[in-house]
Structure formats: structure tokens, C-alpha cells
Amino acid sequence: MFATESDTVTRRLTPALREQVRHELPEIAQIRDDDLREKVISAWCLALARSSYASIREIPPEGNPGSMRLIRGDQTDHIRGVTRLAIAMADELATTNPDLPLNRDIVVAGGICHDVGKPWEFDPENRKRWQGARHKAGVPSLRHPAYGAHLCLLVGLPEEVAHIAAAHSGEGELLVRSLENTIVHTADIGYWSIMLAGGLIDPDTIAGKYKRPISL
Ligand SMILES: [Fe+2]
């Protein structure tokens, strides 16, 4: 599957890493389709294997590098929180609206994979390279939505999941989000907004779009 991968990356793609990803993101078990579930694990394994992170827990709990940092926890808290919020919204709305054309597996897979590109965008080695030659490949060369969509397609995940990785964030303002992506996007924005309202975001890292025009 990963014919173009370097030996170093291939060596890191072990059964132990798959088990670790299952353990770090236990909501993966809620994906009912076996093939979809295994490909979600593959996407996260590849994301880690291609980065300097050995674990999703090593990635800072931030929305973007240096921005919207949780005062405690790690990146798994965000990914799991968004996935569970998205599942809760999907289940509630499907119960009260049986004609909603909702694919629950895509909501779960999309929640788990929406930030699968973060190991790339947050990687200190990548960030040093980009900052050292800003004219060359941009800063960053690819944000996590673009790189995440690349990973999803590379491991054979359906375009419905790649779309959620690609367009859960600001990139989604340039297109029409799917139903499942609208749920994940709402969960993602809701997660950061609620953490901020509850005082669980480091005040020095609040992103401009969350700042109020007056301070009270
Ligand atoms: Fe997110």
C-alpha cells in the first residue's frame, strides 16, 4: 500500500503502532464497518510514522500550532471530545429526524480523522524547515486539513472521510460541506468555544476569531 514510503516510515508501521492508536483513540471501536475502521487506524499510523511524534499524546492540545491551547491534556482529548460531541449530535438528530440521510460510521470516522494532518503541521522539524526558508514551500507548506485529506486518500479511506479532513476548518468555507462534515465542523467549533467559555484555554493563545471586540 505504501510503495513510495521510505524504509524508516515503513519500519514504524507495526502492529504495535496500530494497537497504540486503538488505545489512544478508543472511539475507533464505534466504527461498525471493519474495512473503514482499519483504514482509520492506518491513516493515524501513517500520520505518526511520517512525523517526529511517537504518540498522538505528544502533540500539544492546540487548534493550530501555538493557538487555542488547552490548559491541560493532550491532542487526544480534543480529537476524542470532538468525535463524541459529533456522535451525540448525530444520534440525537437521527432519533428526532428519521429521514435525515445520515451515515453514522462516516461521522465517527470523520471525527477521528478530522485532525489526522496535525502531526505534519505541528511537527517541530517541519516548522523549523518552513521558517528557515519561508520563500521555498510556504509556512506551513500544507495546513493539517490538506495534509490530512492526503493521508485519508492514501490509505484508501472514502472521499466522504477525506472531505471531512479537508474541509472541517476554514477551508470548508470555499465549498459546500456534507451533512456529516457539518456535524463534525460544528462539534469542532463548539469544542473550542466551550473550552474558552469555561476558562480551559490558555489566555495567551486565544485566536483572533474567538476574541471579543471589547474586553469586560
Ligand atoms: Fe479539531
Q: What are 149-171's pLDDT values in tens digits?
A: 999 999 999 999 999 999 999 99
Q: How far does residue 187's CA lie from ligand 1's centre (Å)?
A: 9
* Residue partners of 216: CB distance under 8 A and separation at least 6: none
Q: How far does residue 6's CA lie from ligand 1's centre (Å)?
A: 28
30, 66 Cβ separation under 8 angstroms: no
61 burial via Cβ count (<10 Å: 0-12, 13-18, 19+): buried
Q: How far does residue 68's CA lie from ligand 1's centre (Å)?
A: 11
Average per-residue pLDDT for the chain: 95
Q: How far does residue 142's CA lie from ligand 1's centre (Å)?
A: 16
Average pLDDT over residues 129-141: 96
Q: How confident is the model at residue 5 (pLDDT cuts 50, 70, 90)?
A: low
Question: Model pTM greater than 0.85?
Answer: yes
Q: How far does residue 7's CA lie from ligand 1's centre (Å)?
A: 30
* Residue partners of 75: CB distance under 8 A and separation at least 6: 56, 57, 59, 60, 61, 62, 115, 118
140 upstream amide cis, omega within 30 of 0: yes
Q: How far does residue 98's CA lie from ligand 1's centre (Å)?
A: 28
Q: How far does residue 158's CA lie from ligand 1's centre (Å)?
A: 20
Neighbours of ion ligand 1 (CB under 5 A): 115, 188
What is the percent of the chain with per-residue pLDDT over 90, rounded to a whole number?
Answer: 90
Q: How far does residue 114's CA lie from ligand 1's centre (Å)?
A: 6
Return the pLDDT at 173.
96
Q: How far does residue 112's CA lie from ligand 1's centre (Å)?
A: 9
